[in-house]
Structure 1
Amino acid sequence: MATTPSNKMRPKPHLPPNLPSLVATAFSRSVATKTVNFYPTSVTLLTINSIPFQLRYSPSLASKPKPPSVTTPKLFFNPFASPTQEMLITPFGTSPPSHNLVLNKFAVVPEHFILSTSAFKPQTHLLEADDLAAAYACIDAYARHNKELFVFFNSGDHSGASQPHRHLQLLPVENMKEGLEGEWDVLAKGLTDPNTRGKLPFEVFARDIEGLGGDGEELRRVYLELYNQACEAVLGVAEDIKHEGEAQISYNLAMTNNTMAVVPRLTEGGVVKDKDGQEVGNLALNGTVLAGTALVRSEMEWNALREDPDQVNQVLGRIGVPNRARM
């Protein structure tokens, strides 16, 4: 098995102490000027194996432009290459800045923002210590204001990834709860508990990171341990797992202030059927599945899944490696 190369101690990234208000101000301004498209949603809570799971419905999102297929001979637009002043929240990291914080142009959750590398790096390559340290610095900046962030990363064909430039996505947890009438919290926060993991139809691997102090090398060590487990679950072997360059599997990563989790992915989602057995759509899931959320764009999907929540459970069972604890 490959080993992690040794690195010199890197300075921890520093962010503006008022990051939550910076994000909120930038988001409000950009929605007002229509630089950012905000799509309001309806929301309900489903119970999946006793886990509260959000289902959101945004009919307006159906009009969101789709990226061109890989066979399209046109140059792919990269929104992270040179972010406009309207979209840029702040650059940060070592000098020159290693990362940018930018607004998500198509937001379902208010103040959804993105951590992208300043220079182009592939989304399909393994994350580096600097990426993880930067993400945790954002989590910590919110924690200093008694706020929570949910961070997720999509990598590979089956993960829900849509942009080739490396980026992690960040959602204020308080805003993820908007419109909810029942009790719900971010799923990833409880995934270090074997009982919680055992309720899920797919394998997920998680570790406590609260005591690591946001150190990038330590975070990457944990990340690689989880990635190794995910690769072994998909490939069946633990040998020759590379720790640099292209990832060998599709996966999602999630981070909170206390937990890092990785779920290996085999497919992006599954079909949705109405009560007559007719296909009415497709439920696609990205890294927000580790928050315990799903999003649909059509009323037929919305109605079908509320009437038959077990369909969500069935799709969850298809997206990854079947959970051995439930077999």
Structure 2
Amino acid sequence: MATTPSNKMLPKPHLPPNLPSLVATAFSRSVATKTVNFYPTSVTLLTINSIPFQLRYSPSLASKPKPPSVTTPKLFFNPFASPTQEMLITPFGTSPPSHNLVLNKFAVVPEHFILSTSAFKPQTHLLEADDLAAAYACIDAYARHNKELFVFFNSGDHSGASQPHRHLQLLPVENMKEGLEGGWDVLAKGLTDPNTRGKLPFEVFARDIKGLGGDGEELRRVYLELYNQACEAVLGVAEDIKHEGEAQISYNLAMTNNTMAVVPRLTEGGVVKDKDGQEVGNLALNGTVLAGTALVRSEMEWNALREDPDQVNQVLGRIGVPNRAKM
């Protein structure tokens, strides 16, 4: 289903030029005052179909409160409705501000922060042009300081989403590499290469966005093309795919300076077993799977996956549509 670019031009969102240091200062202050819970991790590198895949273990994260289903928003405390001064990095966008940058309350990667809409908008609805323009403005603000950001979005019951208020998550790539000696980089950066996509056990759709200059309408045009492909992979049809309101599938989106990628999701994860075949946990994956990362909270899962990395590959094969290139 073809998409038609809009003729309207969105004003580009303005961000403080010192955004990386602004985020770093806010994070350090909030960790010191225990406003943000920072969970140190152990990390190892697995090789999945010749792709370096990062596995992190955070036992402290097991104590993080587990929210109810995202389909029952009234049961939620909404941290994005009126962010406190301790959590707020900066509001930005058009006037009045359309978005807020806030710290992630439960951080595994240092300086993990969040782009949320100022007014409540559903996480399960399709992203709008100003959401994508705002996310890319953050990426560009980091790039101006020779730094990289990985942006991801979880939407739907099988995506790893945990809050009903629309938000994208942002991770400084330099901090994602903490504890690693080398050999790993963000997976999404290479997903425009068919050879890289062909190594994955699930279907993923990607496009180069470098030449779009952060234009929100153009970014949304690409997003909808990728979303169409993802819907067709899940639903088997290309017609009647809606471009407004509720998304018709669960999916993750990732953005880097050069690439946008969408992976349709069918499940959140899969069972992990020890060497004796006993179930020891469940590996759950969100949009960071498009960075080439996974996180576990128990030592038994950590040990089982390091001893048998093929289990990660098996879970990856279950979370989405099987890759036709591998069939």
The alignment's TM-score, normalised by the length of structure 1, stands at 0.98
Cα distance in 2, alignment partners of residues 92 and 5 from structure 1:
25
Distance of 2:237 and 2:49 partners within structure 1: 30
Q: Which digits, 9 at most, give the CA deviation of each residue in 1:151-181, with x for residues without a partner?
A: 0000000000000000000000000000002
Per the TM alignment, residue 6 of structure 1 is displaced from its structure 2 partner at its CA by: 3.0
- Aligned partners of 1:254 and 1:287 also within 8 Å: yes
Residues 199, 134 of structure 1: alpha-carbon distance in 2 compared, 3 angstrom cutoff: same
RMSD: 1.3
Q: CA distance change for structure 1 residues 71 and 262 in 2, over 3 Å: closer, same or farther?
A: closer
Whether contact under 8 Å (1:62, 1:297) holds in the other structure is: yes
What does residue 148 of structure 2 align with?
148
Any conservation in 2 of the 1:45–1:182 contact (CA below 8 Å)? Answer: no
Shift of 1:201: 0.2
Structure 1 runs not aligned, ≥5 long: none
CA distance in 1, matches of 2:132, 2:182: 32
**Aligned to 2:131, what secondary structure does the other structure show?**
helix
**Gaps spanning 5+ residues in structure 2: where?**
none
Residue pair 2:70, 2:157 contacting (<8 A) in 1 also: no
* Matching residue of 1:309: 309
Tell whether the 8 Å contact from 1:270 to 1:283 is kept in structure 2 after alignment. yes
Structure 1 residue 70 displacement after superposition: 6.3
1:69 to partner: Cα distance: 4.2
Contact 1:4–1:243 (8 Å) recurs in 2: no
Q: Cα deviation per residue 1:164-199 (whole Å; 9 max; x = unaligned)?
A: 000000000000000002310000000000000000
Cα deviation, 1:68-121, whole Å, max 9, x if unaligned, reads 346989632100000000000000000000000000000000000000000000
Q: Could you say if the C-alpha distance between residues 185 and 2 of structure 1 is closer, same or farther in structure 2, counting changes exceeding 3 Å? A: closer
Question: Using the alignment, how far apart are the partners of 1:288 and 1:135 within structure 2?
Answer: 16
Identity %: 99
Where 1:101 maps in the other structure, the secondary structure is strand
Quote how far apart the aligned CAs of 1:10 are: 1.1
Moved more, 179-188 or 96-105: 179-188
Distance (Å, rounded) in 1 between the aligned partners of 2:7 and 2:151: 25
- After TM superposition, where is structure 1 displaced by more than 6 Å over at least 4 residues in a row? 70-74
C-alpha separation in 1, matches of 2:73 and 2:321: 35
**What count of residue pairs does the alignment treat as equivalent?**
327
| CA distance 1:14–1:72, change in 2 (3 Å) | closer
The 8 Å contact of residues 92 and 100 in structure 1, kept in 2 or not, is answered as yes
Structure 2 distance, partners of 1:248, 1:74, is: 22
Q: Deviation of residue 256 (structure 1)?
A: 0.1
For 1:88, the equivalent position in structure 2 comes to: 88
**Distance across 2 between alignment mates of 1:187 and 1:33:** 34
Shift of 1:4: 5.0
**1:54, CA displacement in angstroms?**
0.1
TM-score, with structure 2 as normaliser: 0.98
Q: In the superposition, relative to structure 1, how do residues 84 and 258 fare at CA in structure 2: closer, same or farther (>3 Å)? A: same
> Structure 1 residues 171, 233: closer, same or farther in 2, change over 3 A?
same
Contact 2:112 2:172 (C-alpha < 8 Å) held by counterparts: yes
Alpha-carbon distance in 1 for matches of 2:98, 2:187? 30
Residues 2 and 240 in structure 1, CA contact (< 8 A), matched pair in contact too: no
Q: Aligned in 2, Cα 1:274/1:301: closer, same or farther, shift over 3 Å?
A: same
